[in-house]
Each structure stands twice: as structure tokens, then as C-alpha cells.
Structure 1
Amino acid sequence: MPDHVLTRIANRTGIITLDRPKALNSLSLAMVRALTAILLEWRLDAGVDAVLITSSSEKALCAGGDIRFFHEVGNATPQGGSALLEDFFTEEYALNHLIHFYPKPYIALMDGVVMGGGMGIAQSGPECGLRIVTERTRMAMPEVNIGLFPDVGGSHFLSHAPGRLGMYLGLTGLTIGAADALYVGLADVFVASTDLPALNALIETTPGAQLPAAIRAFAAAPVGESELQANRARIDAHFGADSVAAILASLEGDASPFAQKALSAMRQRSPLMMCVTRELLLRGAALDVADCLRMERSLVRRNFEHGEVLEGVRALVIDKDNAPQWNPASLGLVTDQMVARFFEPVWPAHAHPLRDLV
């Protein structure tokens, strides 16, 4: 295992600890490969009955993919055609698929920041998954803020959220806490951060096969109400509109602080990628996990060809001028043809890099 991925087995539970605290455990290609290798090994290991993924830092489980890396290698290659980029997204999405269908209980302790790629390694499948949040959880799919779109399976788990909650999260990129995560269905149980030492003791002393049930019994009700639940009617009304422009117009007519916060956020996002994201989620609602990941994989290639994500990362992370020059610059300049281009096949079906997902 590389330095940033630590592993051990305790009482028949395989424990993965992400240990890249200065980068909030942002995923490198080496980390993706390490996670894949250990999960494949433990999948067949009769001495491992469950898997837990956690962090060495209370600040984050994982803040996402290493976007500085994306910017560096994307700019070094015309139209973003870097082999390293190709490998990263192919292998990351294959890892997301592996986690979603993992045959043993897969438990994610989502303490601190869990965003983007961090959601991809935490959103396990409903059969064997258990997702824990704390009052420190800061969850988001903020990709439209850097000129990308909700990937790592986001086209599936956001499009299958109740009502228009997934559309709201995907188009605004706003952050939610524990109560909202539980309400949306992106988390299963709440544990207060003050109870984490006791939870860790429970993990150490409980056999892996019994661990999910033991954690559910240990969990508590979250402190505070869900803001999304309180605003569910207006979310469904606004984000059920038939275009991004119509959503913005609907929000403009709502003076509530909640609507105005969403409106302010969307005015800063990439106009093109908001439109692409809306189409992505509409399509994702009719697809299974594998086909969603295949769709996202093609969109990533189209995105780097276009260059929107490179400009977004430059503005927010590299130069930090917070003034991205989006292309197109305004929503009124985004055409249906521009959006459709992102969904055009990149590879023949038999040559798709994720063709072997089942």
C-alpha cells in the first residue's frame, strides 16, 4: 500500500485508513489503485467479513479527486488527452462500481468533509453498505463549481434521490450536513463525534459479520432538523422546472433565504456544466449504476476536450482569483447542441474503457 492508504484487520473487519491529511485525503491515482487492490484482495479473503473506510483526520474522509493533478496533466496535453487522466477516471469509476456492489458489508465513516470523489468511495450499495455521518460531516457534489459535473456515480445516486433533491444538490453544488444527508438518503446512521472513541472500541471488539447491526444499535438521532426537509416543497417546485434557465427564473421569484442562497450559488457555476448536469441526471434516472458510470466516463473526456474544468480549477484552486472565464460566459449562450456534444459517444461500445462493468 502507498503511504496515504493504511490497512489492517481487526476482529475480521478490514480497516482502510486514508492518511493524506494536508490534502484532505484527495485521491491520487496511486490511492485509487491501492484501494482497488485491497478491496479485491479482501473480497476473496475468508478472514475478512466486513470492510470499514475511515480517515486519520477528523477534518475529512475525502475531499475528492486530486484536482491540482487534473489541472497539471490536463494542461500539459492538447484537448486534455493525457494517458494519466484517462487512467485516473477509468480506474476511479471502476473502483466506485466495485464499492457499490461489494459483496461484504462496506462501512464508510463520513466524518468531516466528504465531497466529489469522496462520495464515490462512500456511497456503497444498499444491500451491504452502511454510511455513518457526524455533526462534522460536510457533504457535497460541488463539481459544477469547478466546471465539471457530478461524477463518481453521482448521475445515479443523485438522480435516484427523492423528488428533486438530487437536482438541487447537483446544480447548486451546495454543502449539506448530517440531518440533510440522512433525509436525502446519502447516509444511514448518525454518531456524534464525541462518541467516536466508543464507536472505535465497538469496531475493535465486534466480529465483522455482526458489525453493521451493532453500529445501527449504537447510532443516535442527529441533532437539528433537516433544512432540505423543511424546504422540500420549494425544492421540488423550483428544480422541477424544464430547463436551467427556468429553474433560475423560478428561484428569482422566491424571496426566501433558502431560494436566494441557491440562486446565488447557481449564478457562480459554469452555465454549460449546469445544463450538462441537468441532462445527466435526467438520463441517469433511467440507467443502472454501470451505465451511469459509462456515461460519466464519456462525459469526462468531452469535458477535458472542452476545457471547462481546467478553467474552473485554475480560478478556484491554482490562481485563486475566483473569477472563472466560463465558456460560454452566460446561460443564454448555451445551446442544445453544446449540451448534446457531451453525450456523443467517444468510443465504440466494444472499446469503452468501462465496457466490462456488469
Structure 2
Amino acid sequence: MTVEPSVLSAVDAGVATLTLNRPKSINALDHPMVTAMDELLRGWAAERDVNAVVLVGAGERGLCAGGDIVAIHRDASALSGSNAGDDEAAACASALFWADEYRLNADIARYPKPYIAIMDGIVMGGGVGISAHANTRVVTDRTRLAMPEVGIGFVPDVGGTHLLARVPDNLGVYAGLTATHLSGADALALGLADHFVAADDLDAFLRTVGETGPADALAKYAQEPPESAVEGRRDWIRDAFAADTVAEIIERCRAVGTEEADKTAASIAAKSPTALAVTLRSLRDEKPTLAETLQREYRVSLRSLLHPDMAEGIRAQVIDKDRTPSWRHAEHRDVPTAEVDAYFAPLPDDLELTINAAPQEDSSV
């Protein structure tokens, strides 16, 4: 039986199309996919006959559901139950995958040609990393975007904390701590996307990209989005999520006194106290560059592998699916500051993430 590649590529009339091709897993990323994407994008950047790149996902369910969470669970389970340290964490398969994935995220943010990410359907975790850093981000009425990491004892990565930290009025903090699903309209309101195209128009939109270019396609098919539900919560989110600690944020949400705010408080309260505390610290950072953020996120990701909450969170949500994780700390006030600090401590120099030089466009005549 012939097995199709997990990444498909085609070039037609100056437009290169990169298709994530694991529809049964909603195109979840693995290491070979990241490597293939990097090679293709660098090649197209240097190919003068390629004018634009389009990223799409195979199947009807979405662009990309994130990374291979089962593989990450294997590493987290092995490391968190041992006396492993940074060296062992950095040598595992998940860390090697993250290093190349984060470098790919940086390359996408600096891509020298139009990079049009079709953020249709489910776009989560690693799917956000390969799309929301693009210079042309298209959402639809089917978009469901999220950074769901705190629900499995992890912390938003792939440059997600860089994106969310820059969203005004604490809406990014809200998205990061709740792991809520954002609609296409929400993604636009938060500045995580640029254009709204109706899902029914996508095929025609992509044909027009190939025929007359991205600008003409957007002029013809981009439209005003529907109302954003998150935008309607902006006032109370701005105030509630301005608190200095996760415990205070939960209290402020409950004090709002609406059903929506109560649900928000309950959602946060059920997630890993440690992961939430580290996420809040990450989102309150001094807005470093994307490269600096990715280096910091790499440190945090390695330390997450060593912490029991990550293996336990994936077990409860993905492996056993009992939805009853037993977190290290029962209360959000119980997370020691020193434990949070340890996530951000520098790695030995030979373990720190290095960022590749940006892909270069061919300037030959």
C-alpha cells in the first residue's frame, strides 16, 4: 500500500502550495513534517519563480491540531518520574522536535515572500505557530483557534506567548489561561489574524491567488467578519485579568457575577496551577522579540517535561480520557515562586536554543 507523504507541495503559476497531509489526526505536526516544511520554505524563498506560498491543511477538520501529544507524553512520563535534569530533557525526542519547530516558527515570521496561512477549522498549539506568525493570515467562519496547553499541564509555546502578550486589554492573557476556542472573528479582534474569508469561498479565493495574486484575491473575497464574542467581554476581561496572580484572577472573575465570568473562573481553576502560574509569568514578560521568546519558551518546555503535571495532564485528557488530573498543587495559591522561577532559569550554553538565519529571497536578475 502506498503511503502519502505527510507534507505535500506543488508550484503553479508562481504560487507554491504547502499542504499538511495527516487529516486523520487533523494534520498534527511531527518532526519529519517540520523538517520537510523548513526545507520547502527555504527552497521557495530562494526560487525567483515562486512569488507566494500558501499553507493549507488536508481534510475537512482543520489546518493543524498541534503537535504529536502521545509522543510528548512518552518523554514526559519517562523524565518526570526520574531524577533527570536539563541534559536528559534536551536529548529526548520531544526537545529535538521543539528546537526545530521553534526555528521554523521564527523563519515563518521572517519569511521574505507573501506567506498566506489558511486558518480554516481547527488551529491549535503548533498549528498556531505555523500560521499566526505569517505575514498574511486568513480565518473563516469555521476557524477554531486555541492555545490549549495549560489544560495538559503545559505552557503555550511556538511563540504563542509572544503573540498573546501583545494583545491589548488582557485578552491575550484570557486566551492563554482559559485555553478557550476563538472563532475567526475573535482571532481578528485579538490581532491573531488579518483577513476573513467565508469557508465556502476558499476554493475560489485560492484559485484567484494563483491567477492574479494575493492582493486581488483578498480584495475580491475578504469580507467583514461577524461579531466577536470575546470582544463583547472585553471590559470585564480587561479588569479581571489585570490581577497579579492566577488565584486573584479567578476571584475577580467570580466577582463579576455573570454566568460567562463564572464559567471562566471554573475553567481556569480546573487547570494545572503550576502551568497557569508559569503561563501568567510568560505573558507578563517585558515583550521580548520573537527569537528571545522562543528561546525562553524552549527553556520552559524542557522544564515542563521534568514536571509531573505535564505527564499527568496528557494522561487525563488524551490517554485515559478520565478528565480528572491530579495536579502537584491542589490550590493555585500553593505554587511556590521558586518553582516558577526554575522554569525560566538559563540553560547551559550548549543547550540553549539557537535561531537559524532567516530564509533569503533570491535577488539575482
State TM-score, norm by structure 1: 0.93
- Within 5 Å, which residues of 2 pair with 1:39-54? 39-54=41-56
1:286 deviates by: 2.4
- Contact (CA 8 Å) 1:43, 1:103: kept in 2 or not? yes
**Aligned position for 2:361:** none
**Aligned position for 1:219:** 222
1:26-69 per-residue CA deviation (whole Å, 9 max, x = no partner) reads 00111111111101111111111111100121211000011011
Give the residue type in structure 1 aligned to 2:214. Answer: L
- Higher RCO (CA-CA < 8 Å; seq separation 6+): 2
* Residue 191 (structure 2) pairs with residue 204 (structure 1): no
1: CA distance, partners of 2:232 / 2:151 = 25
SS at structure 2 position matched to 1:312: helix
* Residue 241 (structure 2) pairs with residue 235 (structure 1): no
Give the residue type in structure 1 aligned to 2:73. Answer: H
- Within 5 Å, which residues of 2 pair with 1:59-70? 59-70=61-72
- Please, which of 158, 179, 182 is the counterpart of residue 185 of structure 2? 179
1: CA distance, partners of 2:357 / 2:179 = 28
Moved more, 252-261 or 175-184: 252-261
1: CA distance, partners of 2:315 / 2:351 = 32
* Residue 199 (structure 2) pairs with residue 193 (structure 1): yes
- Please, which of 11, 14, 17 is the counterpart of residue 12 of structure 1? 14
1:21 deviates by: 0.8
**Aligned position for 1:100:** 109
**Aligned position for 2:341:** 340
1:213 deviates by: 4.7
**Aligned position for 1:136:** 142
* Residue 352 (structure 2) pairs with residue 352 (structure 1): yes
1:143 deviates by: 0.5
1:65-103 per-residue CA deviation (whole Å, 9 max, x = no partner) reads 110111123334544725312210100000000001111
| Aligned-residue identity in percent | 38
1:216 deviates by: 4.0
Give the residue type in structure 1 aligned to 2:352. Answer: H
- Contact (CA 8 Å) 2:141, 2:183: kept in 1 or not? yes
**Aligned position for 2:24:** 22
SS at structure 2 position matched to 1:90: helix
1:206-240 per-residue CA deviation (whole Å, 9 max, x = no partner) reads 2xxx3145324421112x31112111111100001
- Where structure 1 has 5 or more consecutive residues not aligned to the other structure, the ranges are none
Give the number of equivalent residue pairs: 349
1:243-286 per-residue CA deviation (whole Å, 9 max, x = no partner) reads 11110110111121221221121021111110100001111x42
User: Kindly tell me: are residues 66 and 74 of structure 1, through their superposed partners in 2, closer, same or farther at Cα, counting changes over 3 Å?
Assistant: same
SS at structure 1 position matched to 2:284: helix
User: Kindly tell me: are residues 73 and 290 of structure 1, through their superposed partners in 2, closer, same or farther at Cα, counting changes over 3 Å?
Assistant: same
Give the residue type in structure 2 aligned to 1:8. Answer: A
1:203 deviates by: 2.6
Moved more, 83-92 or 66-75: 66-75
**Aligned position for 2:330:** 329
- Please, which of 114, 119, 130 is the counterpart of residue 121 of structure 1? 130
**Aligned position for 2:37:** 35
SS at structure 1 position matched to 2:9: strand
2: CA distance, partners of 1:355 / 1:205 = 35
Give the residue type in structure 1 aligned to 2:11. Answer: I
- Where structure 2 has 5 or more consecutive residues not aligned to the other structure, the ranges are 359-365
2: CA distance, partners of 1:334 / 1:74 = 20
1: CA distance, partners of 2:284 / 2:78 = 33
1:355 deviates by: 5.4
**Aligned position for 1:291:** 292
- Contact (CA 8 Å) 2:205, 2:217: kept in 1 or not? no
Q: CA RMSD in A?
A: 1.7
1: CA distance, partners of 2:272 / 2:219 = 40
- Within 5 Å, which residues of 2 pair with 1:300-339? 300-339=301-340
